[in-house]
Chain A
Amino acid sequence: MTYIPHTPKEIQEMLEFLGIEDVEELFKDIPEEIRKSAKENIRLTPPISEIDLIREMETIAKKNIGKDYISFLGGGAYRHYIPSVVKHIISYPGFYTSYTPYQPEISQGILQSIFEYQSLICDLTGMDVANASLYEGGSGIAEAALMSTRINSKKEVIVSEGVHPEYLEVLNTYLSAQEITIKKVPINNRGETNIEELERMISPNTSCVIIQNPNFFGVIETKLKEIEKIIHRNNALFILSIYPISLGILKPPSEYNVDITVGEGQSLGIPLGFGGPYLGILATKKEFIRQMPGRIVGETKDVEGKRGFVNTLQTREQHIRRAKATSNICTNEALSAISASIYLSLLGKNGIRKVAEICFSRAHLLIDKIEKELGLELTYKDSFFFNEFILKVPKKSLEILKRLETQKILGGIPLSTFYPERDKELLISVTEMNSIEDISYFISSLKEATQ
């Protein structure tokens, strides 16, 4: 039987040792009617061989034809190059077949890697401390908001409408459970968070203000310094959601005096994978470390004074504090965090900057060509972008995308997915995986599709 190593003789010996004849006797404590129903109702597909499984999975996989298309899809998940090294290292059994490091003496590999992940995230964001990861960007924002309410005991959260609409939904789900009010600040005609509105809405009752940069519309928020002053004047916390690759060129959150930095870490060496598993980044100032959710690894020494690493501040966590824990999070995304560590160390200072520059420059090359060669306009044409922007198209965006699909192009995300009234706009994203040839082909196909 698959993955069960016992020989019939061993099974017999074990049954004899227990003084029973059949293994079914070990299930007598389950009421008979329950056993009967399980027996009658569990009707799965019959077992198949590995050979057949491979064949079947290949057939199913090939139905994901979108993978073969030239893609300009972004919106919180980005197709970046993943160096081969990342895939090899996360396949090492010491990493992927281990559990949470409850026995640190035989888990130094995971613990040091997570310590290094925390350090690399702090290098990238400029923050003092990072946790060992959360599930992904959306629940990460929600955890940061809850953390803020624990820090200042206030029950109102302000969030910019520039935050990813799916993250806004997650925030709403998490916060409404604890009766925390959410107020949304609109964006202005530049696609940036409306500062005047923010000033009007914020009060000393505000726990935190959440901004995303670059925001969901691809726009770089240029007034973060002013926003920071407004927030801190009201004794609220500043939460910023970031796109890690953009920090290769953009000013880090620490320079805006951000209190909690969060973000989707998928761009750091983690595959698109139809939406997961990803990586939730959370980093903060040292003064708030005790209110952080999730695991934290700290340096220590062994009895002989040798350096080692352990899970620390565990008294915040569910397995010790139970109902009073800072979060229910138990499993984090350790292997994704290790992918990010490998990616960040492999690319390093110069590589991350260069990837950011390639994304930026190719996106701006595309914008330039769209404007000059197609005469189309961006929705927020006077704003600044990193690698993503919103294009106004002359027809229904879904119609244009359908036509691009016939050219094997995924031409962007229709904004109508999230804002039904905005049905003639596309969110277009460019990464280092879009070659110059792809971009030219996209331009010519877009020209045909929009005519």
Chain B
Amino acid sequence: MKDIPLLREISREGRPTINLPEPEKDYLPKKLLPEDLLRKDLPLPQVSEVEVVRHFTNLSIKNYGVDFGFYPLGSCTMKYNPKINEDIAQNPYFTDLHPYTPESLSQGALEIIYKLSTFLSCITGMDRFTFQPSAGAHGELTALLIIKKYLQDKGEDRDTVLVPDSAHGTNPASASMAGFKIIEVPSDERGLVSPKTLSKYLNEKIAVLMLTNPNTLGLFERDILEIAKIVHEEGALLYYDGANLNGIMGYARPGDMGFDAVHINLHKTFSTPHGGGGPGAGPVGVKNFLSEYLPKPTVEFDGEKYYLNYNIPKSIGRVRSFYGNFLVLLKAYAYIRLLGTEGLKRVTEMAVLNANYLKEKLKEILYLPYPSICKHEFVLSGKYQKEKGVKTLDIAKRILDFGMHSPTIYFPLIVEEALMIEPTETENKETLDQFYEIMRTIDQEIQKDIEKVKTAPHTTPVKRLDEAYAAKTLKVTWK
């Protein structure tokens, strides 16, 4: 496939721009502003509309997405994004609504936020939600700040966060941003947090344990009730990283497991598109005792109308401007309305069935370090293949040649040569069987034609890219 030139390379001096009205001649900046405030040159490219359209159209087809095929990227929940939700979020009564529109004239938007909050409370067993957090990591930070302020108000000096060694990288990074120290708790031989080990780490300095359940190995933390008990007995709180909620919806609620605060990734469980890496939404839910610390404003309902409540004296303050990624919230709202209680439960059932089916098939090819039933995802190891001279990275690259996306690789860190696979519920059995066949073919290639795997990919728009060269030359603009 041919290289697509940069916009800078196709720019020509004098290329006309789109039609715009004329400015008012008597009020031009050069007449009304001192010259030294004005810029002389604006070095943006000059490209015609048709060139812009072709440029981005050609780029977009060089990019794989869920609409192209299977995307088993573990912990990312790359499910199908229903088209109807996109239509709904493009309604001008939502898109053209200014965030400072008076409450009486923006009741629809406030209603959506309020009702979504009640839906999520029901699904998670938490009492109150904030929608300011714009991504999962942003949610983690928000919740940790809430917990920090709560503990400070109680006069407690707890400065450390516990995370399991299988945790998402955002957990320790968020804890660090919230001003906490971090200690890692090792997983046991089951791949789980063991209450016995955990209790050795619990003391009067521990503020919170961050857990994702099912964890990043796709395994349900079976001892969660015991864990919650000992964490709370020690005076610490329990935080739920909701990245893996797709594995338990309808079967378990973080609130019932003993979690005090949660974040949810609407762009994972609730089908809002990932957009090449955002925008997402990471609403945070808390139990009642933490609700007076939520960012302000919250959306409330007085029985007649919806309103923004700024009167939250203990609030941690804002974590962003306005109220959150509203257009993303809309899509999640629509998804929940379409599916209802039974539909969401079925989502989880099929996600879990797909994962277990694929796990049991693939375990004859790749090493399965934790052979129990999994939830929405599972982790395999490429250690047998590595012994033959092929890295997991090579396998991941070879998968691309078969027109599918590869799983998450080298995560979680506790599994050597890890492949983390999350099929989601929106794939049928045939697709899973195809993926299995691809893995089998690659495994056979490793025996017969190892170079083909080690030099993959072969059929993609570019061949394997030199990441070290990029870091060394640091060419990050077209200048």
**Residues of A23-66 whose CB lies within 8 A of B:** 23-24, 26-31, 33-35, 37-39, 41-48, 50, 53-54, 56-58, 60-66
The distance from the CB of A78 to the nearest CB of chain B, in whole angstroms, is 9
For residue B334, CB closer than 8 A to chain A, the reply is: yes
- Residue numbers in B under 8 Å from A88 (CB-CB): 53
- Asked if B56 and A89 make an inter-chain contact with CB atoms under 8 angstroms apart, the answer reads yes
Q: Mark A406-450, 1 if CB is under 8 A from B, else 0.
A: 000010010001000000000000001000100000000000000
CB nearest neighbor in A for B324: A276
A251 to B123, Cβ gap below 8 A? Answer: no
Q: Which of B133-141, B201-209, B440-448 participates in binding chain A?
A: B133-141
From residue A162, how far is it (CB to closest CB) to chain B in Å?
A: 16
B170 contacts chain A at the CB level, 8 A cutoff: yes
Judging by beta carbons under 8 Å apart, are A361 and B27 in contact? yes
- Which residues on the A side are within 8 Å of B312 (C-beta)? none
Is A178 interfacial (CB 8 A cutoff)? Answer: yes
Q: Is A375 an interface residue (CB 8 A)?
A: no
Interchain CB contact under 8 A, B98 and A30: no
The contact string, 1 if C-beta is below 8 Å from chain B, for chain A 295-314, is 11111111110111110110
Pair B91/A105 contact, Cβ less than 8 Å: no
**Closest-CB distance, B113 to chain A (whole angstroms):** 9
Chain B CB within 10 A, most for which of A7, A107, A355: A107
Interface: A200 (CB within 8 A): no
Chain B residues near A317: list those with CB within 8 A: 169
Q: Are B360 and A29 touching (Cβ within 8 A)?
A: no
Q: Are B463 and A302 in contact (CB under 8 A)?
A: yes
CB of B193 within 8 A of chain A?
A: no
User: What's the least CB distance linking A184 to chain B, in Å?
Assistant: 15
CB <8 Å contact, A173 and B316: yes
- CB <8 Å contact, B353 and A123: no
Which of B251, B342, B360 has most A Cβ within 10 Å?
Answer: B251
B95 neighbours in A (Cβ, 8 Å): 271-273
Quote the shortest CB–CB distance from A16 to chain B (angstroms): 10
Which chain B residues lie closer than 8 Å to A299 at the CB level?
A: 470, 473, 475-476
Please state if B56 and A92 are interface contacts (CB–CB under 8 Å): yes
Q: Which residues from chain A contact B135 at a C-beta distance below 8 Å?
A: 135, 329-331
Q: In the complex, what residues of A have CB within 8 A of residue B34's CB?
A: 222, 384
CB distance from B309 to the nearest CB of A (A): 14
Measured between beta carbons, the chain A residues less than 8 angstroms from B39 are 247, 249-252, 255
A347–B322 Cα distance when bound, in Å, is: 28
The distance from the CB of A239 to the nearest CB of chain B, in whole angstroms, is 17
B437-479 to A contact mask, C-beta < 8 Å, 1/0: 0000000000000000001010011111111011101111111
Residue A122, interface by CB 8 Å:
yes
Let me know if A169 and B317 touch, CB within 8 A: yes
Neighbouring A residues of B426 by C-beta, 8 Å? 3-5
Chain B residue nearest to A330 in the complex (CB):
B137
With an 8 A cutoff between CB atoms, is B384 at the interface? no
Write the nearest CB–CB distance from A315 to chain B, whole angstroms: 8
Tell me if B224 and A322 are in contact (CB < 8 A). Answer: no
Centre residue among B33, B457, B465, B475 by max chain A CB count within 10 A: B465
Using a CB-CB cutoff of 8 Å, which residues 102-139 of chain B contact chain A? 102, 105-109, 111-112, 119, 122-123, 125, 134-138
Q: Are B339 and A2 in contact (CB under 8 A)?
A: yes
How many whole Å from B132's CB to the nearest CB in chain A?
Answer: 9
Distance A132 CA – B350 CA, assembled complex (angstroms): 35
The answer to whether A348 touches B46, judged by C-beta atoms less than 8 angstroms apart, is yes
B49 touches A312 (CB 8 A): no
Q: Are A44 and B344 in contact (CB under 8 A)?
A: yes
Q: A64-B93, A301-B466 are in contact. Are A273 and B326 (CB under 8 A)?
A: yes
Contact of A3 with B80 at beta-carbon distance under 8 Å, contacts A107-B64, A303-B455 already known: yes
Structural contact, B350 and A64, CB atoms closer than 8 A: no
Docked complex: A355-384 residues within 8 A CB-CB of B? 355-358, 360-362, 364-365, 368, 384
A351 interface residue (CB < 8 Å to B)? yes
Interface centre among A38, A99, A129, A346 (most CB of B within 10 A): A99
- Asked whether A46 and B340 contact (CB < 8 A) given A29-B222, A277-B134, A335-B275, the answer is yes
Is B248 among interface residues, defined by CB-CB distance under 8 A?
yes
Digit string of B37-59 for contact with A (CB within 8 Å is 1, else 0)? Answer: 11100111111010011011101
Interface flag for A352 (CB, 8 Å): yes
Distance in angstroms from B307 CB to nearest chain A CB is: 14
Give A96 to B328 CA distance when docked, in angstroms. Answer: 12
Residue pair B102, A138 in contact (C-beta under 8 Å): no
Given contact pairs A299-B473, A357-B28, A94 touches B107 in the complex (Cβ within 8 A): no
| A274 in complex: contacting residue of B86, B106, B430, B455, CB < 8 Å | B106
With contacts A28-B373, A64-B105 known, is A42 near B122, CB below 8 A? Answer: yes
> A165 vs B72: C-alpha distance in the bound complex, in angstroms?
43
Answer yes or no: B196 CB below 8 A from chain A CBs. no
Shortest beta-carbon distance, A6 to chain B, in Å? 5
Instruction: Please tell me if the beta carbons of A405 and B102 are within 8 angstroms of each other in the complex.
Output: yes
Residues of A contacting B278 with CB < 8 Å? 133, 135, 277, 331-336
Question: For A313, what are the chain B residues with a Cβ–Cβ distance below 8 Å?
Answer: 471, 474
User: A44-B119, A318-B137, A410-B101 provided; 15 other pairs, C-beta below 8 A?
Assistant: A2-B339, A47-B342, A63-B107, A66-B102, A95-B60, A109-B60, A129-B476, A250-B38, A274-B326, A274-B327, A299-B476, A301-B465, A346-B17, A361-B25, A364-B32
Q: Which 8 A-B pairs have the closest CB atoms?
A: A275-B322, A109-B63, A335-B275, A66-B105, A277-B279, A47-B340, A97-B65, A275-B99
Would you give 17 A-B contacts (Cβ < 8 Å), ordered by A?
A57-B91, A61-B108, A85-B52, A94-B61, A106-B64, A107-B63, A135-B278, A249-B29, A276-B324, A300-B465, A302-B464, A312-B474, A313-B471, A321-B169, A334-B279, A338-B276, A349-B46
